[in-house]
Structure 1
Amino acid sequence: MYLTIPVLVLLVDLSFEKEYLSWKLLTTKVVFGQAVQLRCHLPKQNCCHNYTRSWRGGPDYTLLTLNEKSSNYTKYIEYLDTESRTSVLTIKSFSESEVDIIYQCSYGFSSYEAILQLTRHRYEFHPTESVPVSLSFNGTHMYAKISLEKVFPKPQCYGNTNEKDITKESLKVISKRNGIFYKSMIDFNYMIDPQHCFGLVTITCTVGTSRITIAEQNTSCRKNGSTFHGKHLAQRDSVASNSHDEESNIVGKVLIVLCFHFFNGL
């Protein structure tokens, strides 16, 4: 009986400490290739220099920082905010190998670990391809086939010419899984109306909360060839009409001369 009481008290104390130690993702929008921050809330009691602080994690689950000292300053930095009782871990150049793995925040004998999960609403992987690209033009169509080898989440893409939405008639996007990301193929084919100028044609994609211009072509308006063709026809018709009038005048004059000679012969 006497042995069970201190054991129970010890368990209550440990759970009390763990209740106040936890970390959360501080960065509101995680973009791969940029910096990401995790914030660990330390216990209210005995904070904040009485015990050793540390962060563990990464692809190999190793010690990242220890009391603001880093195992790799070009990659990991820890900052202690005593006023808010938080330890903030900054991960520079966040990569795909650093997601969906465990990170641990420790303070003294207490620790908290959780998986940094890839979710649709908070993570973005922007295309690494050089964009915007140029569109091809063959006189009647503007077209392009664009491949985004790695992107997250699935891009929502739109086509526009000036202020007109041409997505439905000209744009098709197919996205397939590529590891934890997606590979997206964009097929653009737009038939140009020869009766109108079309000006600026753009393809934009929304990746998470970011809007990215994928293609952009500022095509100057072209004159309608059929209009000039009609003018040429009108000119030819006018010339033909003038020639017909001249021939009629000549015939009339010949008839008058013949009639004059005929009556003189009588």
Structure 2
Amino acid sequence: MSGSLQRRLYRKLGVYLIVLHLLTYDVTVAGEGVAWSLQTNPAVFGKDIVLECKLPSSTCCDRYTRRWLGGKNLHLLIMDGTSSEPDKYSELFDKETRSSKLTIHRLDSKDVNIPYQCIYGFSKDVKILNMTEDRFEYYPVEPIYVNITVDNGNVLQVNAALKPVFPQPKCNASIDEGDISQSLRVSKIMKDLFYEVIIHIRYTFTSSICANLLNITCQIGTFMLEIKRNITCRSDSPVNGEHRNRKNMQEYSNVT
């Protein structure tokens, strides 16, 4: 074999070994991988949430481009800190902790139940940001509609609407210090991603006191909603009449 041919073979072999090394290295990097997770708990609609991606320790942090993709078509959101929509997406990068944090501003229904992908070089992690009842919350819009009636003076009926709301609220009710939760019923329907909830109370007064404070409390995930209303019996109610008679009898006793 001539010397020139041998040198050409050595050069080709050298190139092959370099390419093989790079491919093997990149496979190792891809195997180490990146991983993102939702950091905000609870994730409240209308507020900002943060997704954090951890980059590989072996190649972090300047060798490759950092990218965040999102949506059904996985379009580009962030590349090396530059946002495609600055008002909606921003990145905070910490080289020491190998952390890329994607902030989604003013979370809305279009931001959930879609895939997000964190990419660094040949490593990537893609998964769905699932809207689950243990992590996501939506509080009802104020003012809350409440309708209160007192039939025949001693039957209280209350209807209150909470919408939209998520997760499904757990509600209790009281009048002054007395628990009337056994008289409370909750009905719900699912509209798009959120619940529309109607609270109904039917309660019969057994006390002669007609001016009372109604308090409805609803636990919505980590948030406690309170609805307080003053209720008064009708002037022609039997209970109100009983209250007036007792008062008149007391006044008569004092006179005599």
- Aligned counterpart for 1:19 among listed residues 26, 32, 40: 32
Q: Specify whether residues 226 and 7 from structure 1 end up closer, same or farther in structure 2 by C-alpha distance, changes over 3 A only.
A: farther
2:157 equivalent in structure 1: 143
| Cα distance change on mapping 1:124 and 1:20 into 2, 3 Å | same
Provide closer, same or farther for how the CA distance between residues 198 and 124 of structure 1 changes in structure 2, counting only shifts above 3 A: same
**Which stretch of structure 1 is more off in the superposition, 183-192 or 70-79?**
183-192
**132-141 or 156-165: which moved more?**
132-141
Residue in 1 aligned with 2:246?
227
Q: Deviations over 1:117-151 (max 9, x none)?
A: 11121111111242374644454243322222322
Please state how far the C-alpha of 1:109 moved relative to its aligned partner: 2.2
Q: Which of 39-48 and 176-185 deviates more?
A: 176-185
What are the residue-to-residue correspondences of 1:42-191 with 2, within 5 Å?
42-58=55-71, 61-131=74-144, 133=146, 135-137=148-150, 139-168=153-182, 170-191=183-204
Say yes or no: does 1:210 pair with 2:229. Answer: no
> 2 CA distance for matches of 1:113 and 1:37?
16
- How far did 1:112 drift? 1.0
1:163-189 per-position Cα deviation (integer Å, ceiling 9, x unaligned) = 221110x21101222233222111122
Mapped to 2, the partners of 1:197 and 1:18 lie a distance apart of 72
CA RMSD, 1 decimal = 3.1
Higher-Rg structure is 1
What residue identity is the alignment partner of 1:216? Answer: K
Residues of 1 paired with 2:29 and 2:57: CA distance?
11
SS at match of 1:113: strand
Q: Cα deviation per residue 1:195-228 (whole Å; 9 max; x = unaligned)?
A: 2466321111111121112x31135797911214
TM-score by length of 2: 0.78
For structure 2, which runs of at least 5 residues remain unmatched after alignment?
A: 1-12, 234-239
Question: What's the % identity of the aligned pairs?
Answer: 34
Q: Report how far residue 78 of structure 1 moved.
A: 0.6
TM (norm. structure 1) is 0.75
Q: Which runs of 5+ in 1 are unaligned?
A: 239-266
